[in-house]
Structure 1
Amino acid sequence: MIFYSTKTASIKATAEEAIFNSLPADNGLYMPESIPTLSSDFIANIETKTFNEIAIEITHTLFGDEITRSEIETIINTAYDFDAPILQINEQDYVLELFHGPSMAFKDFGARFMAAIMSYYLVRSKKEIKILVATSGDTGGAVAQGFYKIPGISVTILYPSGKVSDIQEKQLTTLGHNVTAIEVDGTFDDCQKLVKEAFLDPELNAKFNLASANSINIARLIPQSFYYFSAYAQLKRLGKPIVFAIPSGNFGNLSAGLLAYRMGLPVEHFVAATNLNNAVPRYLESGTYEPLPSIETISNAMDVGNPSNFVRLKRFFADDWELATEKVSGFYFDNEQTRNAMREVFKKSGYVMCPHTAVAFQGLEEYRKQNASGFTGVFLSTAHPAKFIELVEETLEKQIEIPERLGSLLSIEKVATQMNASFSNFKTLLMNTLN
């Protein structure tokens, strides 16, 4: 499998190089040079497959002979001992629950696959790497859990001070061992900028083998395509077109859905639902992309003003705005609309949503208002509501149960290094603390 840079098509990389380098030297993003399609027989019989069987087939189709099928089976079965179930919410809509992994967020799917495949390559090459990752909420916890105590890998996680929930913060600041947390006085965009600058710094790259676990890394996108196929497998019996609504921040999740579509997944339409950080919905409306500084909202993991994966979204449609709008619609919502959606769904169905899930639900409902019915709607639930317990309980005026794996973190003291958003300070910290 060969990848090219979105900035310079002549810059190429193998899958192993793209996974470990994270970014091309020109600061573009890696994209597959060609996207293979799954066999028609596989799609026709997908409802008979387990989640892991689906994941194995997708990975084998993408990687070809670069990794043997038996090795792929080991990677997938090491990564996943949890599923992505579908639940019916009303007559036409279903929720795809993506929070049944160890950190109780959808990013477990990407982080655990990355950890397993990087470990496979590192054992083969006998190398060590240093992972740098920025998080707006759930990425940090998933990466911390996924890479915890993995031999040959150390992890440094940057997160914006005061802009993640208490449980999210505890998930990435309490593990220790090979996981280090840095609390940045700034926004997620500041954290992401520091990580990108580090990958382009010659001195840091000469000293360390740096890699990223953000959705800029292609190894995050590939496994997130698995659950789109799994959702289709669970709903195929209904015989209706499927519309997916995705809560969107850095747009890795939607990019993974587009990869699934390009690989042959039957999808009627995608809905990109955001909070007030709405650069992509505005682009889909006007054809003009104008990123703005990130705005703090109650759906904090989506507070991204300039999404890194926007370029991938465009590239899946050959940078053609009209083609993109035929397959993707964008909607955005403020905090009060999000709270109202949480209340509405709970009142009608008893289902408790986190604020990010509520944004996706709103996007699906808005799309349904503007289009003919007859389709099955699937909105993605990206995190367990207990990760935002104060907000959820205040909004619903109801106490919710905290799963033991989350509740046990609250009594553990966080360990994090505080710093401003200066790259020179960040570089000095890395040079002095990473060994």
Structure 2
Amino acid sequence: MKYYSTNGKAPLASLEKAVVKGLAEDRGLYMPERIEKMPKAFFENMSNMSFQDIAYNVASNFFGEDVDEDALQDIVYDTLSFDCPVVKVTDNIYSLELFHGPTLAFKDVGARFMARLLGYFIGKSGKSGLVNVLVATSGDTGSAVANGFLGVEGIHVYVLYPKGKVSPIQECQFTTLGQNITAIEVDGVFDDCQALVKSAFMDDELNKHMKLTSANSINVARFLPQSFYYFNAYARMKEKLNGNKLVMCVPSGNFGNICSALFGHEMGLPIDRFIAANNANDVFYNYLQTGQYNPKPSVQTLANAMDVGDPSNFARIYDLYGKSHARISQLISGATYSDEQIAETMRQCYNETGYILDPHGACGYRALKEGLKEGEIGVFCETAHPAKFKEKVDAILGADIEIPARLRAFMDGEKQSVEMSKDFADFKQYLMHQ
């Protein structure tokens, strides 16, 4: 399988190059040249299959031409050492709980898969030299990538995060690890962190000095494995539908998660339509309404992991549907919520059902409550354990939610971070001395 750039000005790349480089030479995002449909028998039998078996079949469809069969199976089964259950919240709304991995966030699957796939290609190439992973985070990406790559030989990870704009628990998950993980605390917002990463990839001098790749959802090995969730969700919901149509609602920031779901849809996954749920960062929502994509600076919200003003994966969605606003808006609708609406939704859901939403999942739950039609059943992604936002959740619900042992372990560590301005010259100088 070859991969092309969304900007259309870079040569075709192999999967290995797309994974190792992360970003194409023309600053575009890599896309597979074709998307194969899954066989009919797969959909007929998947409700009897485990999450791991489902994921392996999907992974074979994406990566089977480029990765040894046994190695790919090992990568998938090692990545998915946990389940992602579908939990009933109301009669027609279910939560797809994606927070049962090591860092209690949905990005664990993509990060762990990429770490293992990158390690496979490094080992296969036999080339010496450290590979440096740059990752910008608005919250959960940093912790998932840092923990997914922790201790992986031949790889060093630099996590760039906006100072004071991630939750304390999220920050602990990538600033206390040490070893091959370096946390860089940027005096800016997430978009500044993402801009530093992209600029680093385009700097010739820096790339001659060190091997660089990204573990953000701009990397095909990070976002494509997230499609596993949606196949598993359909398998678990299949018998519950009873003739109803399935609607999938995805809280969205950088749009890698919903993008992977759309790839699944192109592979034949029978989800009728999608809802992209946003916080006050409503660039995609406005695009759906107007047909005009106008990035703008991100604003800080309760749902901080979605505080993105220029989502990278819009380029993939735009390309996937032939740059057609009509096709995109026919399949995807949008919703946007203020902090007040998010908090109100969390309280209402907790009081009425006993289910504890985190601020991001609250956007997805409310979008379904407001947007489901007759004959539809909705599933929203609960993307992170609410304890990762304990201060916010406790204050909103008037509760004292329990912190899982895995999170407590991170909180006992000592913070190690490098302070950095949002000026690329400063970041480049730092990396040139590594």
Calculate the TM-score normalised by the size of structure 1: 0.97
Matches within 5 A, 1:217-228: 217-228=219-230
Structure 1 residues 11-56: Cα deviation after superposition (integer angstroms, max 9, x where no partner):
2111111011111110011111111111111111110111111111
Match in the other structure for 2:281: 277
Does residue 1:329 correspond to 2:333, yes or no?
yes
**Uncovered stretches (5+) of structure 1, i.e. residues with no partner:** none
Preserved contact between residue 10 and residue 26 of structure 2 (Cα < 8 Å):
no
Q: What is the letter of the counterpart of residue 189 of structure 2?
A: T
Match in the other structure for 1:83: 83
Q: Distance in 2 between matches of 1:409 and 1:308?
A: 29
Q: Distance in 1 between matches of 2:256 and 2:141?
A: 11
Cα offset, 1:288, TM superposition: 0.8
Match in the other structure for 1:54: 54
Match in the other structure for 1:74: 74
Cα offset, 1:283, TM superposition: 0.3
Match in the other structure for 2:200: 198
2:292 aligned counterpart, secondary structure:
coil
Q: What is the letter of the counterpart of residue 144 of structure 1?
A: A
One of 182, 186, 196 as aligned partner of 2:188: 186
Match in the other structure for 1:167: 169
Cα offset, 1:412, TM superposition: 2.1
Match in the other structure for 1:307: 311
1:133 aligned counterpart, secondary structure:
strand
One of 216, 225, 235 as aligned partner of 1:214: 216
Q: Distance in 1 between matches of 2:421 and 2:219?
A: 25
One of 232, 236, 251 as aligned partner of 1:230: 232
Match in the other structure for 1:92: 92
Match in the other structure for 1:3: 3
Q: Distance in 1 between matches of 2:14 and 2:108?
A: 24
Match in the other structure for 2:355: 351
Q: Distance in 1 between matches of 2:36 and 2:9?
A: 19
1:95 aligned counterpart, secondary structure:
strand
2:151 aligned counterpart, secondary structure:
coil
One of 266, 270, 291 as aligned partner of 1:287: 291
Match in the other structure for 2:254: 250
Match in the other structure for 2:405: 404
Q: Distance in 1 between matches of 2:395 and 2:78?
A: 38
Q: What is the letter of the counterpart of residue 163 of structure 2?
A: S
Q: Distance in 2 between matches of 1:141 and 1:6?
A: 28
Identity of aligned residues (%): 47
2:75 aligned counterpart, secondary structure:
helix
Q: What is the letter of the counterpart of residue 173 of structure 1?
A: T
Q: What is the letter of the counterpart of residue 181 of structure 1?
A: A
2:362 aligned counterpart, secondary structure:
helix
Structure 1 residues 351-383: Cα deviation after superposition (integer angstroms, max 9, x where no partner):
111100101111222222xxx311110000000
Match in the other structure for 1:45: 45
Does residue 1:377 correspond to 2:381, yes or no?
no
Cα offset, 1:123, TM superposition: 1.2
1:66 aligned counterpart, secondary structure:
coil
Q: Distance in 2 between matches of 1:66 and 1:181?
A: 32
1:389 aligned counterpart, secondary structure:
helix
Preserved contact between residue 345 and residue 366 of structure 2 (Cα < 8 Å):
yes
Q: What is the letter of the counterpart of residue 89 of structure 2?
A: I
Q: Distance in 2 between matches of 1:278 and 1:108?
A: 26
Structure 1 residues 244-267: Cα deviation after superposition (integer angstroms, max 9, x where no partner):
111000000110110110111001
Q: Distance in 2 between matches of 1:411 and 1:152?
A: 28
Q: What is the letter of the counterpart of residue 374 of structure 1?
A: G
Cα offset, 1:10, TM superposition: 5.8
Q: What is the letter of the counterpart of residue 253 of structure 1?
A: N
2:333 aligned counterpart, secondary structure:
strand
Match in the other structure for 1:317: 321
Cα offset, 1:9, TM superposition: 5.7
Match in the other structure for 1:23: 23
Q: Which one is further off, 98-107 or 5-14?
A: 5-14
Match in the other structure for 2:419: 418
2:132 aligned counterpart, secondary structure:
strand
Cα offset, 1:408, TM superposition: 2.4
One of 126, 138, 143 as aligned partner of 1:141: 143
Preserved contact between residue 277 and residue 364 of structure 2 (Cα < 8 Å):
yes
Q: Which one is further off, 123-132 or 228-237?
A: 123-132
Does residue 1:113 correspond to 2:117, yes or no?
no
1:13 aligned counterpart, secondary structure:
coil
Cα offset, 1:315, TM superposition: 1.4
**Uncovered stretches (5+) of structure 2, i.e. residues with no partner:** none
Preserved contact between residue 358 and residue 393 of structure 2 (Cα < 8 Å):
yes
Calculate the TM-score normalised by the size of structure 2: 0.98
Q: Distance in 2 between matches of 1:412 and 1:418?
A: 18
Q: Distance in 1 between matches of 2:381 and 2:99?
A: 10
Match in the other structure for 2:154: 152
Cα offset, 1:290, TM superposition: 1.1
2:270 aligned counterpart, secondary structure:
coil
Match in the other structure for 1:393: 394
2:65 aligned counterpart, secondary structure:
helix
* Residue correspondences, number: 430
Q: Distance in 1 between matches of 2:146 and 2:10?
A: 34
1:65 aligned counterpart, secondary structure:
coil
1:342 aligned counterpart, secondary structure:
helix
Q: Distance in 2 between matches of 1:362 and 1:285?
A: 19
Q: What is the letter of the counterpart of residue 391 of structure 1?
A: K
Structure 1 residues 378-433: Cα deviation after superposition (integer angstroms, max 9, x where no partner):
0000000000001000000011100011112223221001011010000010111x
1:89 aligned counterpart, secondary structure:
strand
